[in-house]
Chain A
Amino acid sequence: MRNSRIIGGLTLIFLLVLWQLAVTWGFLKPFQFPPPSRIGGAVVELATKGFPNNQHIWTHVGVTLWRIIQGYVLAITVAIPIGLLIGTVAVLDKLTLPIITFGRSVATLSLLPLVIIWFGTGELTKVLLIAYGCFWAMLSNVIAGVKYVDPVMIRAARTLDTGRLRMFVKVVVPATLPRMFVGARMALGVGFMVIVGAEMIGTIQGLGALIMEARTFYRSDITIVGMLFIGILGFSISTGLSWLETVLLPWNKGLEEVRR
C-alpha cells in the first residue's frame, strides 16, 4: 500500500519532468502544451494578481463551489421524496419511466439557450442547470433503491407484524440509503460536468468562467489550472461524501466489502 503510493508519486514526477523537458527540447509547443513550470507560474499569478480582471483563484473556487452546492442540494432535496414516491407506487413508476429516460438523455447543456430565455443569464440559470443535471442522476438511483429492496427484508418484516407506515419508514427507507449515497456521488459528478458550461455565460467568476476567459486570451496554462482546481474540488467533495457515508451508515461497510 505505502510502496504503491510511493511508486505512483514517482511516476507522476517522472511524467512531469518528461513533459517539461519535451517542451524545453522543442518536441512540444509551449503554447499548446504549457510546461509544468508555466502552470506553476499561472497558479502564482492567479493567487496574487488574479485573472481575468483581478479575480483571484479563491474567488473562482468559492463562486463555483457555492453554485454547485445550491444546485446540488436543491436537486437532492427534490429528488429524494419524488424518488421514494415513484419507487413505492408501481403505477407511478410505469407512468414516469419514459419521462425519466427522456429527461436523463437530454444533455443538460443543450438546455442552456432555453434556460437563458426563461431565467436570463444570472445566477438562477446556472444553479438550475446544475440542479437539472444532478436531479436525474439522484432520482433514478432513489427509485432503483426502493424498487430493489431485498424482498427477503420485506418478507421478514411482514412476519413481524410490520404495518404499512413502519414498513416504509423502518424498512424501505433505510434499505434505500446506500443506493441514495451512490446517487449522491453520481449527481456530484454530473454537477461538476455541468458547471463549466453553466459558467460560460454572463459571468467572469467561477472556474468555468476562468477556463472560458483563458481561451479568449490564449492562456492554455490558466485553462489547465482551472481544470486542476475543478478536479481537486470534485475529489475533495467526493471524499467528504464517502466519509459522511461511513459515519451515517456504519452498518453498510461490511456489506460493501462482501459485494466486491
Chain B
Amino acid sequence: MMADTAASTGSSNPATAKIDVRGVSKRYATDDANTPPVLDDIDLTIGDNEFVTLVGRSGCGKTTLLNIIGGLVEPSHGDISVNGRLVTGPGEGKGMVFQQHALFPWLTALHNVGFGCRNNGVSAAESDRISRQLIELVGLQGFEDKYPTELSGGMQQRVAIARALATDPEILLMDEPFGALDELTRLEMQDELLRVWSAHKKTVVFVTHSISEALVLSDRIILLAARPGRIRREFIVPFPRPRQRTDPQMIALYDEIWRNLA
C-alpha cells in the first residue's frame, strides 16, 4: 500500500500540484540542540482538489506542518509553494479551521462568516448574502444572529467552516477541527464536511489523530512519525464516497495504518 504521490488520485499528478512542500524542517527556538527537530526534511506534493489527512501521534508535528503550509509558522529550512508561488504568509486563498472554533465572540454567526469578505472590500450587503448562503450550506439557517457563546460546539465549528469558505479559498486547512466534539457530533460533522466539500471543491489538508476519521474523509493519508518528524508512510484510500465505516476493506486498511503507527 506504499504509494507514491503521483499515483495517489487521478486529480493529483505533479503537473497540477496545488501545494508543494519542499525539504521543510522545523526546529523551535526553545528546543535545545540535542532534541530532534519537530519536522525533518518533509517533501510532500498535494494535488488540486485532493483531500489529504495528516495523521500521527501527539507531538509528531502534524499541526506544525499545517501551520507552515498555512503561512502562520515559518519553516527553519525548505519552502512551500501554492500554485507554484512561494507562500510568505497566511490568508491569500488559504482558509483555515482550528481545533477551537476561534470565532470572534463579539460578532454574530453571520458577521463572523462575512469577516474575510469585508477584509477583501466586499460590500456589507454582498458579504451578508454570501454569508447567508454558507450558513444555509452548513445547516444553520435561523442562527445567523446568534453569538458564538449561544451556539453548541458543533454549531460553532460549522460557523468556523463557513467562515473559512466565505472568501472562496482554493485551499482549506483544518487542524483537528472535530477533535473537541463529542463522538456523535463528530461523525455528523464528517458527513457534513464531505457534503460541503462536494459542493465547493477545494484542496483540503486535514489534521487528525483519528484513523477512522482520516479513512472516511480523505483521498490520501500521510502518516507522520514523531521527533524527528518525518513522513513514515502514505496510504491511498481508493474507496468511493460515501464510505461505510464498517466496510471490511476499510477495516483492513485501518488495521494496516494502525500497525504502522505502533
Contact = CB atoms under 8 A, between A and B. Distances in A.
B105 A160 contact: no
A29 interface: no
B14 interface: no
Nearest to A151: B102
Contacts of B116: 160-161
B150 A254 contact: yes
Given A153-B102, A174-B106, A177-B106, A159 B70 contact: yes
Contacts of A160: 91, 115-116, 119, 163, 167
B167 A161 contact: yes
Nearest to A256: B149
A251 B105 contact: yes
A156 B102 contact: yes
B119 A163 contact: yes
Contact residue range for chain A? Answer: 20 to 34
A54 interface: no
Contacts, number: 71
Interface string A242-260: 0000000111111100100
Interface in A138-167: 152-153, 155-163, 166
A152 B102 contact: yes
A28 interface: no
Nearest to B94: A159
Given A161-B120, A255-B105, A250 B167 contact: no
A43 interface: no
A155 B98 contact: yes
Contacts of A159: 70, 72, 90-91, 94-96, 164, 173
A145 to B, nearest CB: 13
A23 interface: no
B119 A175 contact: no
Interface in B75-134: 89-92, 94-96, 98, 100, 102-107, 115-116, 119-120
B147 interface: yes
B91 A253 contact: no
A258 B70 contact: no
Contact of B91 (A152, A161, A175): A161
Contacts of A69: none
Given A159-B72, A159-B95, A161-B167, A252 B119 contact: no
Contacts of A163: 119
B117 to A, nearest CB: 9
A209 B92 CA distance: 64
Nearest to A252: B105
B131 to A, nearest CB: 13
Contacts of A153: 102, 104
Nearest to A253: B149
A254 B149 contact: yes
A171 interface: yes
Interface of B: 70, 72, 89-92, 94-96, 98, 100, 102-107, 115-116, 119-120, 147-150, 163-164, 167, 173
> When A and B form their complex, which 7 residue pairs have the shortest distance between CB atoms, in order from nearest?
A254-B149, A160-B116, A161-B91, A156-B102, A159-B96, A251-B147, A174-B106
28 contacts: A152-B100, A153-B102, A155-B96, A155-B98, A155-B102, A156-B96, A156-B102, A156-B103, A156-B104, A158-B91, A159-B90, A159-B96, A160-B115, A160-B116, A160-B119, A161-B91, A161-B92, A161-B116, A162-B91, A175-B106, A177-B106, A249-B106, A251-B147, A251-B148, A252-B105, A253-B149, A254-B147, A254-B149
Given A159-B96, A162-B91, A251-B147, 7 more contacts: A156-B104, A158-B89, A159-B95, A160-B115, A161-B91, A253-B149, A254-B150
